[in-house]
């Protein structure tokens, strides 16, 4: 009896259920799409398969279209993959975000294998996971810069990049001197292995610019007699507001 039941399920997989028509009209964040229930249920683990197998689980708009309260800009790329297996050639990070949301696991995996995401996820993010308090320091940088932006065109924050424990011990006096001069200093590191301090600075710029800020980083110009050879580890990040 179980075998017969399984056979029926297999034979009817992907066909319109009594609860859904074979052709589905979707409203995804105000953008209209038309597809088949077979396409939407192609991957059983996905949210789309969950929504369109069995009784209706989504609300309908005034036209009777199923409504997804989601930005529809990149849904078309997800739908195209369901239809043809074709990967997008642009906006890959954004499509990846949508594939994760809809739990289309094969699309997520294929996108993570593209050069654009592979380098980000396997290279850069793995490196940043080794830098203590990296995300928190990014937030601190932005908060300090914003606090100094009143009636100013630019804000500056000193960044100290210490790659090793030895660097941290050697340049502690210079850090104290900068703070005594009331400079705002945010310290990154140590992380001991992997990319250089210059690589870390590129990551900092990238992540702050991704939030819409205009920033530049230059070597810090300070009191050489106090900073000595540690000067190479200090940098000035400038936020330009207008």
Q: State residue 226's pLDDT score.
A: 47
Closest CA to 25 of 73, 70, 58: 58
Centroid of chain to Cα 35: 29
Please answer whether residues 42 and 85 qualify as being in contact, where contact means their C-beta atoms are separated by less than 8 angstroms.
Answer: no
pLDDT value at 3 more than 50: no
Separation of alpha carbons 112 and 119, rounded Å: 9
Overall pTM > 0.85: no
Separation of alpha carbons 188 and 162, rounded Å: 6
Give tens-digit pLDDT for 16-31: 455 778 899 999 999 9
- Mean residue pLDDT across the chain: 86
Q: State residue 215's pLDDT score.
A: 97
Separation of alpha carbons 206 and 141, rounded Å: 13
CA atoms within 13 A on the CB side of 138: 19
Q: What is the CATH number of domain 11-113?
A: 3.30.710.10
Please answer whether residues 110 and 87 qualify as being in contact, where contact means their C-beta atoms are separated by less than 8 angstroms.
Answer: yes
Give tens-digit pLDDT for 131-190: 999 999 999 999 999 999 999 999 999 998 988 888 777 676 666 666 655 567 899 999
User: Between 215 and 2, whose confidence is greater?
Assistant: 215
pLDDT value at 191 more than 50: yes
According to DSSP, the residues that pair with 34 across neighbouring strands are 25
Q: State residue 2's pLDDT score.
A: 42
Which of 33-37, 180-184, 207-211, 237-241 comes out lowest in average pLDDT? 180-184
């Amino acid at each position: 009896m179980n075998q017969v039941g399984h056979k029926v399920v297999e034979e009817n997989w992907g066909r319109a259920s009594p609860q859904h028509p074979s052709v589905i009209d979707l409203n995804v964040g105000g953008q209209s799409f038309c597809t088949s229930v077979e396409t939407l249920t192609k991957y059983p683990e996905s949210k789309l398969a969950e929504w369109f197998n069995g009784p209706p689980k989504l609300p309908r708009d005034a036209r009777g279209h199923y409504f997804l309260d989601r930005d529809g800009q990149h849904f078309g790329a997800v739908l195209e993959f369901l239809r043809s297996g074709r990967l997008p050639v642009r906006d890959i990070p954004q499509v990846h975000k949508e594939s994760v949301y809809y739990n289309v696991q094969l699309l997520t995996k294929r996108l993570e294998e593209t050069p654009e995401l592979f380098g980000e996820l396997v290279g850069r993010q793995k490196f940043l996971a080794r830098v203590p308090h990296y995300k928190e320091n990014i937030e601190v940088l932005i908060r300090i810069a914003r606090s100094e932006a009143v009636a100013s065109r630019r804000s500056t924050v000193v960044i100290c990049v210490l790659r090793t424990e030895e660097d941290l011990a050697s340049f502690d006096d210079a850090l104290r001197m900068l703070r005594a001069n009331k400079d705002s200093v945010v310290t990154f590191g140590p992380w001991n292995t992997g990319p250089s301090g210059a690589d870390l600075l590129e990551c900092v710029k990238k992540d702050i610019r991704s939030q819409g800020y205009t920033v530049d980083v230059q070597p810090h110009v300070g009191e050489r007699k106090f900073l000595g050879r540690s000067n190479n580890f200090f940098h000035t990040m400038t936020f330009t507001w207008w």
